[in-house]
A and B are shown apart, each in its own frame.
Chain A
Amino acid sequence: MKFISCLFFLYLMAFFNSILVDVTSIYGVNIDLAMILVTVAALYFGESLSIWFAILLGIVSSTQRLEIMPWEMMIFVGIAIGVNQISARLNFESIASKLILLTAALIAHNILLTSILSFENLTYSLVRYILPGVVYSLIPGWIFFMFGNFFAGFHHARS
């Protein structure tokens, strides 16, 4: 089931990049779907699977820009391990705590990517694009966590 979910997430990323990214963009503020998916995988799929999912997602999300492929892979793997370790050690269960983790992951990803793409004036980018983007991304993130908790509870009840 987890493998199928990972495959679905990879197709979702390609669908988002091909069709939805223009539709969902509001004055340059975008949803960082890749980071949401990495966080969800790290929280619900376990460490091993989330690492490999992060690598594959790095490839799929940077198909439009091959030069950032290894950077994206590194960032995604690093964040997947970090999120997984934090949630395992602190036993994060509530959606609010998961959203806080997602916020940190989104900020880290955007700042690193902005630096890698050599954007000038990081402070401006942070205020104008990154922070609104983080707030915007928390909405789909919240929906993903709702589904995640629902399916996790469902599996728990079945077993």
Chain B
Amino acid sequence: MAWSSTIFFRNRRFFNFILAIAVIVLVILSNDQVRPMLGDLSFTAFYSPFVKLKTNIEALRNVVEENHQLKKQLMELGLQLSALQEAKRENSRLRDLIGFRPVGDYQVLPVKIISVFQHFYPIGAMINKGSDDGIRVNQAVVNRFGLAGKIKDVMSHSATVQLLTDPGNSVAVRVAETHQMGTVRYSPDKGMTLFNMPADAQIKKGDLIVTSGLGGVFPPGLAVAMIDTIFPNQGEVLKNVQLRPAVNFFEIDELYVVIGERR
């Protein structure tokens, strides 16, 4: 027994290194079980006190002013609602007449951003709801302006969002007016760009780009961006189109996770 402890203490550095490598290999190999568990542990042990602090600070900030604004908005929205309800009834009657299935009536879950993952600019976010609240991987995440991203990893009480600004994220879209299909991606040097748009596509500055629903991840009809610049194509087959995102990714506060379609 003595000889083994002598060997261990003599080669302590080596054993320490091997053990560290073993831990990393374990995390690499069992990505579906260990990573969310470690994330949960880290969240509970290190992040939760600051999340509570942040929530309390935000709740206290401008409460009175916000209350006034909300009362004013409530009045205005009440008036708008009655007009919209009438339009919805009329729309529903017309849809029934032509047998068209409505899109865009989604069930959403409001979530708070705990922290933003920045690599040069925000490319991810952590939210305060997880699998216990019905959140699943690949659910669409929106705010009041449009599509913000999708759920990437889910833990029991928190989840991570892959924002549209992440270069690894691409969205199948269509031009709202012309139904022309394309793909949207974000890169640090070009910003948000529309790919696969044919050179003869009839698009113009200001056109709204919405999700097409073809990728199978995002529901159709969510606002993604507006066309900002169309570069003249020089004998190319596809157009080069620069977009202005619907969501300001530098100022996202509240998000909503689309957890299903309303029946």
Contacts and interface: CB of A to CB of B under 8 A. Distances in A.
A55 B24 CA distance: 8
Interface in B11-55: 12-13, 16-17, 20, 23-24, 27-28, 31, 35-36, 38-39, 41-43, 46-47, 50-51, 53-54
Contacts of B126: 63-64
Nearest to A15: B50
Contacts of A11: 46
Interface string A17-48: 11101100100111000000000000000011
Contact of B120 (A30, A65, A66, A70): A30
Nearest to B38: A59
B16 A67 contact: no
Given A48-B12, A51-B17, A77-B24, A65 B117 contact: yes
A48 B188 CA distance: 38
A6 interface: no
B82 interface: no
Given A66-B153, A67-B152, A117 B35 contact: no
Interface residues of B, number: 44
B115 interface: yes
B245 interface: no
B146 interface: no
A19 B113 CA distance: 11
A18 B54 CA distance: 8
Contacts of B227: none
Interface stretch (A121-129, A140-148, A150-158): A121-129
Interface residues of A, number: 44
Contacts of B160: 64-66
- Interface residue SS majority, chain A: helix
Given A52-B20, A66-B36, A10 B118 contact: no
B214 to A, nearest CB: 23
B46 A70 contact: no
B119 to A, nearest CB: 6
Interface string A113-143: 1100111110011001100010000000000
B187 interface: yes
A125 B35 contact: no
A60 B42 contact: yes
A30 B41 CA distance: 26
Contacts of A28: 118, 120-121
Given A15-B50, A19-B53, A117 B167 contact: yes
7 contacts: A10-B46, A28-B121, A64-B126, A64-B160, A65-B117, A117-B166, A125-B120
Interface of B: 12-13, 16-17, 20, 23-24, 27-28, 31, 35-36, 38-39, 41-43, 46-47, 50-51, 53-54, 114-121, 123-126, 152-153, 160, 166-168, 187-189
